Amino acid sequence: MVTKDFEAIVIGSGATGGVAALTLAEAGIKVLVIEAGPNYSSQKAIGSEPCNSFRRISSLLTGEHGQQLQHPGFWKANPLLFAKKKDNPYLFPPSHPYIWTQGRQVGGRSLTWGGITLRLSNQNFTSAEVDGFGPNWPIKHEDLDKHYSALEKLFKIHGMRDGLQNLPDGEYISPLPLTSSEKSFASKIQNDLGYKLINSRGFGPHQPSKKEPWPKFSSPGSTLRKAIATGNVEVLCNHIVEKLIMNNEKDKAKGVLLINILTNSRIEIKGKLIIMCGSTIQTLKILLNSEETNHSNGFVDPSGMLGENLMDHISTCRFFAVPKTNADHTNNVDSNYTLSGAGSFLIPCGDKIQNNNSKKFIRDYGIWGGIDRFNIPSFLRKIPETTIGFLIGHGEVLPQKKNKVTLSNELDKWETPIPFIDCCWGENELLMVSDIQKTINLMITSAGGKILPLHELINLPFLEPILSGAMALQEGAPPPGYYIHEVGGAPMGREENSSVVDPINRLWRCSNVLVVDGACWPSSGWQSPTLTMMAITRRACLEAIKPRNA
């Protein structure tokens, strides 16, 4: 039981929560990190086989994880790290399905993160200046540059300095090598199509040890662990934040109202600074429940935009077979060739897209992929003398007022409003995904490959019924939420009538509340968002404590 007040309260213990806790703790501030779920040991969180597979089969039969099992990460990580549907419900229109993946444990979704770390470019921050759609960001790359760099150095990110205008370089250690098949693929699409393939940027594969039991890309394995080691951080588990508690003037939050999920009791915790790091939709749920429209003593959102403009990357995936090279690494036990954030490749398509005068959509997309990254035994391969690859295109989604999160009239088991998520792809996204599919087809054909369903590449008789219905393997784009890159709903801006938070992430009329996770994004870009979320968090926290350091 927490019996004292804290200088800062961080809501959420995942990627942004870990950065917030570390940034504040290193400045000497006493921090309470609140987590809705339990604090697992590394052994329990990571799990082992065959127990993880048994859990997946159980979930498939019972449906306890809902549509979360559609994401490939569910079949890679321990299902224990995915929240159960009955305890964490949400609603959506039948015509607009949404897949909301939740991680309710210390570390949150950082424990199931793919570990790709990309910067946004000024083209992303100022795209509205070019096409006139939606808002610009109130910040540019130069505002985040030193924070990107500090995080890349802390995490020891693998990558190369490629000199691309639409994908800024960072501070990297040596890149992980491409497989020989990937090098061949890169050469062919460069020569035939003019696309540049680069080493992916991010974390290498997790290699657990007694000294480093947690993945380095997770907050328990990096930022949160370092924050706790300062002696300035406490973690309160199994508590849900119901809403902010405002002062009488409603211009500051005094603290938060918590629900103990084990006892259903409610307690108030006071703090001078509150940082929202609970992930986009959880943050929006708390803010909506704390705003005056839904709470008589709530804060004021002068823009009326809270909850609007929810976005997620639109994606499409293709598996394929290419002829083996003489040096394929299928049976190579070197972990450098294991699929990971850095053990893969990227094809930023922005320059090619912008130079295409016949394109019918705005904004950009990129393609992530890997070839010969799966150590599949030869007896399971259906096509001899080939190796297997995949390409996943992910594109920017436009902010649309109609795509939003609201609070329904239905209550969950803790008597808090269940979020209602109404989000669907627009015409621009559908035109973009069609172009992504054409580009992927061209690349695979150029490389001498053949697109095939996964069950025609690998002999998996027990999983074929599952694979046949998998959203990732369908012709069209999976529904919003599938890619787990949701952002928006409480955007940053320069004016209070057109944004929810100011340029340093403070609620306009409640300045001691910072919104730093994906909720604060005005637009989505095409890049994996986690590194930018963490850079925004570090910047906002340092800005918030400037008077203390002066």
What is the per-residue pLDDT for 549?
Answer: 44
What is the per-residue pLDDT for 381?
Answer: 79
* Residue predicted with more confidence, 440 or 458: 440
User: Average pLDDT for residues 527-541, to the nearest whole number?
Assistant: 98
Decide if pLDDT at 286 tops 70: yes
User: Average pLDDT for residues 323-344, to the nearest whole number?
Assistant: 78
Distance separating alpha carbons of residues 390 and 26, to the nearest angstrom: 42
**Residue partners of 465: CB distance under 8 A and separation at least 6:** none
* Residue predicted with more confidence, 546 or 461: 546
pLDDT digits (tens, 9 = 90+) for 388-445: 999 999 999 999 999 999 999 999 999 999 999 999 999 999 999 999 999 999 999 9
Give the number of other CB atoms < 10 A from CB of residue 390. Answer: 21
| Contact between residue 286 and residue 278 where contact means Cβ atoms under 8 Å apart | yes
| Contact between residue 34 and residue 241 where contact means Cβ atoms under 8 Å apart | yes
User: Average pLDDT for residues 92-104, to the nearest whole number?
Assistant: 95
User: Average pLDDT for residues 328-345, to the nearest whole number?
Assistant: 78
Distance separating alpha carbons of residues 71 and 241, to the nearest angstrom: 27
| Contact between residue 390 and residue 473 where contact means Cβ atoms under 8 Å apart | no
What is the per-residue pLDDT for 71?
Answer: 77
Closest to 306 measured CA to CA, from 425, 411, 402, 404: 404
| Contact between residue 371 and residue 337 where contact means Cβ atoms under 8 Å apart | no
User: Average pLDDT for residues 482-488, to the nearest whole number?
Assistant: 95
Residue 50, CB-side half-sphere exposure with 13 Å CA sphere: 3
User: Average pLDDT for residues 100-125, to the nearest whole number?
Assistant: 96
What is the DSSP secondary-structure string of 195-249? Answer: PPPEE--B-------SS--S-TTSSTTTHHHHHHHTT-EEEE-SEEEEEEEE-TT
Average confidence score pLDDT of the chain:
92
Among the ranges given (229-238, 453-462, 481-490), the one the predictor scored with the smallest mean pLDDT: 453-462
User: Average pLDDT for residues 94-118, to the nearest whole number?
Assistant: 96
| Contact between residue 405 and residue 334 where contact means Cβ atoms under 8 Å apart | no
| Contact between residue 269 and residue 9 where contact means Cβ atoms under 8 Å apart | yes
What percent of the chain clears pLDDT 70, i.e. is strictly above it?
95
Distance separating alpha carbons of residues 41 and 129, to the nearest angstrom: 48
* Residue predicted with more confidence, 473 or 547: 547
What is the per-residue pLDDT for 76?
Answer: 83
Q: SS3 string of 252-310?
A: CEEEEEEEECCCCCEEEEEEEEEEECCCHHHHHHHHHHHECCCCCCCECCCCCCCCECC
Question: Taking CA 101 as the corner, what is the angle to CA 97 and CA 102, rounded to the nearest 5 degrees?
Answer: 135
What is the per-residue pLDDT for 471?
Answer: 65
User: Average pLDDT for residues 518-547, to the nearest whole number?
Assistant: 96
What is the per-residue pLDDT for 478?
Answer: 92
Closest to 92 measured CA to CA, from 421, 523, 449, 445: 421
H/E stretch holding 388 reads strand 386-395
Per the structure block, which two tokens stand in for 107?
A: 């570390």
**Residue partners of 511: CB distance under 8 A and separation at least 6:** 251, 252
| Contact between residue 439 and residue 368 where contact means Cβ atoms under 8 Å apart | no
| Contact between residue 243 and residue 290 where contact means Cβ atoms under 8 Å apart | yes
Residue 134, CB-side half-sphere exposure with 13 Å CA sphere: 27
The residues pairing with 167 across neighbouring beta strands, listed in sequence order, are: 164
Confidence category of residue 473, pLDDT binned at 50, 70, 90: low
Confidence category of residue 295, pLDDT binned at 50, 70, 90: confident
Closest to 107 measured CA to CA, from 11, 21, 13, 36: 13
Decide if pLDDT at 509 tops 50: yes
| Cis peptide upstream of residue 50 (ω within 30 degrees of 0) | yes
User: Average pLDDT for residues 221-247, to the nearest whole number?
Assistant: 97
pLDDT digits (tens, 9 = 90+) for 62-74: 888 888 878 778 8
Decide if pLDDT at 15 tops 70: yes
Distance separating alpha carbons of residues 451 and 436, to the nearest angstrom: 14
Q: Output the CA–CA distances (angstroms, integers) from residue 502 to 140, 215, 274, in the order listed.
A: 14, 34, 15
User: Average pLDDT for residues 265-272, to the nearest whole number?
Assistant: 96
What is the per-residue pLDDT for 208?
Answer: 87
The residues pairing with 369 across neighbouring beta strands, listed in sequence order, are: 345, 391
| Contact between residue 110 and residue 510 where contact means Cβ atoms under 8 Å apart | no
Decide if pLDDT at 466 tops 60: no
Confidence category of residue 351, pLDDT binned at 50, 70, 90: confident
What is the per-residue pLDDT for 50?
Answer: 86
Decide if pLDDT at 464 tops 60: no
Decide if pLDDT at 550 tops 60: no
What is the per-residue pLDDT for 219?
Answer: 98
Distance separating alpha carbons of residues 450 and 319, to the nearest angstrom: 9
Distance separating alpha carbons of residues 250 and 91, to the nearest angstrom: 30
What are the residue ranges of helices labelled H in 86-222? 122-125, 127-131, 141-155, 180-193
pLDDT digits (tens, 9 = 90+) for 153-184: 999 999 999 999 899 999 999 999 999 999 99
What's 371's DSSP letter? E
What is the per-residue pLDDT for 486?
Answer: 98
